[in-house]
Every structure is written in C-alpha cells, then in structure tokens.
Amino acid sequence: MNGAAWPVMCIEASSGHFFGIGDWGGVGQPGQTWTNPGKCDGGGRPCQDADHWAQKYVARQMKKVAPKSNPDYVLSVGDHFYPGGIKKGCGTGGNTPGRDPTGQWHAQFDAVYGGTPGLDGKPWMAVLGNHDYGGYTWFQGWDQQIFETWERDNWIMPAQYWSRKVQYQGFSVDYFFLDSNVIDARDAGDANHYICQKHPNDVCFGITEPTCPNMFEQAWEGGKKMVEAGLKTSNAEWKIIVTHFPPPVVLNDATFKSLIKQYGIDLVVTGHTHWQSTGKDADTGVQWIITGGGGGVTSDSSPDPSGHDTAYGFVDFAIDRTTLKYDMYTWGGENGDMIIQQSVTINSKKQSSLNASVVV
C-alpha cells in the first residue's frame, strides 16, 4: 500500500486538538527507558531517574492534558520500539502474523498510554523510524507495525509511506507520512548507523543486504512523488509532512524546496533526535518540529529535576481554519508540573509567534 491514501477522517467540529510524539517505545517494564546500555547522552553522563523512566513520565503528562484537550488523533513519528523494533523477523509471520506476537505492544503501548480519558480509542497515525527496522539492520518486524493497522482500532500505518486527509467542519488538513530512513542507507562505512549492514543471508520480502539501500531509496523517492501528486490536487487549508528524520531531510531537498515554493507546506513534524525543539526554516519559511523526546531512549539533552528542559516531552496541537497552535510540553520534572517549554502559533499567512518557557 505504499503511496496509498487512507480513507478520509471526518471530525464534526470546526476546531480540534491532536498530539505529536516520537521515539517513545521503551524496553522492559511499561514506561521504562532504554539507556543504551546504562549510559546517557551518548557520552556517559550519569543517568537520572528521568532517564530510566522517561516514557512513563511523558505518558503521565499526556494523561493530564488529554482529558482537557481531547485530541482527535496522535501523530507518531517513529522509533516505536527500542532498541531494535519488534523482536520478530520481517516476513516470518506471513500475511497473518496475529496481534502483538511478541507482547511488546501490550508492554510499551497499551500499558503505557491506555486507560486515559480523552486518549483511549484515538488513532495513532505513524511512520517508521530507523529503530523500527532494527537500528542497523533492515529485517526486524517493521511489517508487524504495518499489520497492526488491521489488528487494532487505535493504530494506523498501512505502508512505509502514505497519506490521509482529515476533514473538519469548514477546513481540512492533508497529511503526508514519509519514510526518510534512506538517510541511514547511504553510508556503508558508518558502522553505528548504517541500516543495511549485518547478516548478509537474511532476507526480508526478497530484500537482501546488497539490495537493501534500493528499498530505502525507492521508499524516499516514492514518497516525494506521492507528496507532489497530493499537493497538485489538494484543496486543504493545511498541509503537513510527518516523517522520522529531522527537518533538513525534507527542507534541504531540492524536490521539496520546489514543491514548497509552488504549493506550500505549512509544517514538518519529525523525531529521531532525542529531544524537543522547534523553529522556522530560514530558506523556505516552513515551521518545523522535532518531537523525539517521547522517552523510549535516553535524551540527547540532559533533563533538569524541575522539568524546565528540552529533554523529554510531547506536543499538543490546536487547529482551526486560520490558526495552528502547538504547545511543547516537557516531562514535568519530579513534581509532574504542567510545563510548556515553548508555544508557537502559525496563522494562515504563514507568520508565527513564539513564547518560550511558559508555565501553566
């Protein structure tokens, strides 16, 4: 179903909320963080309690905001299960692998985010991250994440790249979900990141180590063609790209630069870098978000016990016909305070205003 448009989601309201989160899938007990292994920040800084239980703490804050915001859906930007995705070989379950064959969905998804008023039953619309493929392999159970689209009501990821329109009363949003993992399939000399290395005899849907880079190039190029075709016919007020790798993979690409100039893109939502950040691209003028602080892996930034940091968190979006506002919540610190690290508003003229470090 690569390139397919999922059926339109209709929301009977003239405004709404949705969440954004990435890099959230921990290990072990529900809410426990993968510490890679026992080291934090990639440089060996001592792990704090927040580093060991970041997913739990971010979910705690989501559970506080959800009853008030009542999000209609969640954008999930990849790396859903650490350290190497679903612990099941790609294709080993055939076309009927069953629901949650490894138990990871229950431990790292249902048990962490379930039972939340305002969030239960809401669809998570997702893309694959490099760890979903296996980190530095390509043959872990990423297909299982696709199959779960038909196994559970609150998960939608029918392909490596796909699109969906969300129709509100009086306006709509066109979402384009892209597979940008080609970034880790281009440098065979990068032993820490190259996704097509190891186990040359392993096969995933006929893809072997020598042909692995081609799969990711095809997914990336196919995604660009999908976006171009979608933008040409789009009548949506808002056009949003969702992908795993940070914004430059889209905003520095010549094809996307041309599409932005011709048709316009309002926002790029990504993860991969393990923290929370946002900004505006100087060249294209497109606003971007990195929401890689979902807590499945230790942050690339150091958490502060007060929660006033960029280490861990999620995003709460509010949208209507003319305005898109997003609040970047932190993990809340030791006391679980509701802290908005940054708040951004984009209006229909593509202007934005920023207010940093707002506490509510």
* CATH number of the domain enclosing 336: 3.60.21.10
Assigned token pair, 111: 């048990």
CA distance 312 to 302: 9
Residue 32's pLDDT is what? 95
Q: 164 phi and psi, to 5 degrees?
A: -160, 140
CA distance 154 to 141: 19
Assigned token pair, 103: 């138990």
Residue 207's pLDDT is what? 84
CA distance 337 to 357: 13
CA distance 306 to 34: 22
Do the beta carbons of residue 144 and residue 86 sit within 8 Å? yes
Q: How are beta strands 267-270 and 238-242 bridged, if at all?
A: parallel
**Location of structure tokens 């009086």:** 170
CA distance 1 to 10: 22
Number of domains in the chain: 1
Q: State how far Cα 355 lies from the chain centre.
A: 24
Do the beta carbons of residue 135 and residue 195 sit within 8 Å? yes
Range of the domain at 19: 5-359
Residue 352's pLDDT is what? 42
Residue 42's pLDDT is what? 59
pLDDT tens column, 72-126? 999 999 999 999 999 998 988 777 778 898 999 999 999 999 999 999 999 999 9
Picking from 335, 328, 326, the residue whose alpha carbon sits closest to that of residue 301 is 328
Do the beta carbons of residue 134 and residue 80 sit within 8 Å? no
Do the beta carbons of residue 315 and residue 65 sit within 8 Å? no
List, for the chain, all residue ranges whose pLDDT scores fall below the cut of 50: 350-360
**Location of structure tokens 């003229």:** 349
Residue 37's pLDDT is what? 65
Spatial neighbors of 236 by CB under 8 A, at least 6 apart, are 165, 171, 172, 173, 174
Helix/strand/coil (H/E/C) assignment for every residue in 74-124: EEECCCCCCCCCCCCCCCCCCCCCCCCCCCHHHHHHHHHHCCCCCCCCCCE
Q: Render the burial of 88-98: b for 16+ CB within 10 Å, e for the rest.
A: bbbbeeeeebe
Residue 200's pLDDT is what? 61
